[in-house]
Amino acid sequence: MGDARKFFHHSEPFAMRRGGVLPGFTLAWESWGTLSPARDNVVLIFTGLSPDAHAASSEADPAPGWWEFMVGPDKPIDTNRWYVICVNSLGSCKGSTGPASINPDTGELYKTGFPELAIEDIAASADLLIQSLGIDQIAVLVGPSMGGMTALAYSLLLPEKSRHFVSLSSAVAASPFAIAIRSLQREFVMADREYRDGDYHDWDGPGTGMRLARKLGMISYRSAEEWRGRFGRDRIPAERISDKPFAMEFEVQSYLDAAAERFIGGFDPNCYLYLSRSMDWFDGAEHGFQPGGHIPKFESARILGVCSDILFPCYQQQEIADILETAGIPVSFEELGSIQGHDAFLVDKDGFGPNIREYLDAL
């Protein structure tokens, strides 16, 4: 497997929103397509909490990306036309600087010594990459989930930089229900003795806490309706049932276990805690993003939400659309009937693909 990642190194001090300063940072990023001579065909994608910059396959890295159905030649975000950039968030552990990186001032891992991370820091750091590429304008800013919050933060910090905006299953600010779920996930990790107040030796340290956090994540990412049809009350085969007390018996439990297994070991627990908390903190209203307030100067916007999403429910998509509309921005808001909940943007190819294609083709 190749690696199509590029690394942007910023070697100046970087002041963060909540008061910390990084002596410098690195961002991992990937790109697809060709930058036009006028540099006016840039699609900038911010990601959800866990994905890396590998949104789609390419010659350099043929492994399928996390948004394989969306990005590529002749795909909805058509790389024959667009120069697509996807950035691994500051604070993540997929090549960008974060709590799992070495602090150059000490030669040790940052761990919980990493400064408090805000969604705005993810946006501002990514813009330094964009500037380094000589790109003055983003044609289309795209963000699903946490990436939608980051895209909103980016455009609130730089209100004239992006021409068009695609927000998917995101929010102006987290709901108390989402805060409850995410803060409980963080508690699981911290309650694991192997977390050792963030000073664990390897990522697998608080594996139990991460596993439990991911299972709750899956409960919040998918939907009861999907599982009803997919698993019902199906049992796992008797020979796979452990003889331990209270062992797994239902297929839905086995599904959660497999999802958790795939996640742990692939994600640094401190990075997870930092990114998770940044979503709870983010609030567009702190920038004046409210009716009649400080609104980015988009030429158009498409806002997509999913009825079965309990983490970023549809009323939150409506709220984004309503605020943009008060500033006279042509907004198309659509509520998709996908049954996969918050994760639908990752898996409901037929729901999201044609919708994004239609929007981008008309630009």
Q: Mention every residue, 6+ apart, whose C-beta is less than 8 A from residue 245.
A: none
Kindly state whether residue 180 participates in binding a copy of itself, applying the rule CB under 8 A: yes
CB of 284 to a copy of itself, least distance (A): 11
| Residue showing tokens 């942007």 | 8
Q: Interface with a copy of itself includes 236 (CB under 8 A)?
A: no
Distance CA 26, CA 293 (A): 34
Among 280, 319, 343, 348, binds a copy of itself (CB under 8 A): 280
Q: Please work out the total of residues on this chain that contact a copy of itself, with binding judged by CB under 8 A.
A: 49
* Of 167, 158, 156, nearest in space to 293 by CA: 156
232 binds a copy of itself (CB under 8 A): yes
Active-site residue 294, yes or no? no
Rounded Cα gap, residues 280 and 90, in angstroms? 16
Site for a copy of itself contains 227 (CB under 8 A): yes
Is residue 121 within 8 A of residue 182, CB to CB? The reply is: no
- Binding a copy of itself (rule: CB under 8 A), the pick from 19, 108, 202, 246 is 246
Residue 209, helix vs strand vs coil: helix
**The one catalytic residue among 121, 268, 309, 343:** 309
Number of Cβ within a 10 Å radius of residue 107: 7
Among 193, 196, 294, 297, contact with a copy of itself (rule: CB under 8 A): 193
Residue 278, exposed/middle/buried by CB under 10 A (0-12, 13-18, 19+)? buried
Instruction: Kindly state the smallest distance separating residue 186's Cβ from a copy of itself, in Å.
Output: 5
Neighbours of 248 (CB within 10 A): 17
Burial of 62 (0-12, 13-18, 19+ CB in 10 A): exposed
Based on CB atoms, which residue is closest to a copy of itself, 63 or 247? 247
Which residues are annotated as catalytic?
Answer: 145, 309, 342
Q: Which residues bind a copy of itself (CB under 8 A)?
A: 112, 173-177, 179-181, 183-184, 186-188, 190-193, 197-198, 208, 212, 215-216, 218-219, 223-224, 227-228, 230-233, 245-246, 248-253, 256, 273, 277, 280, 283, 310, 313
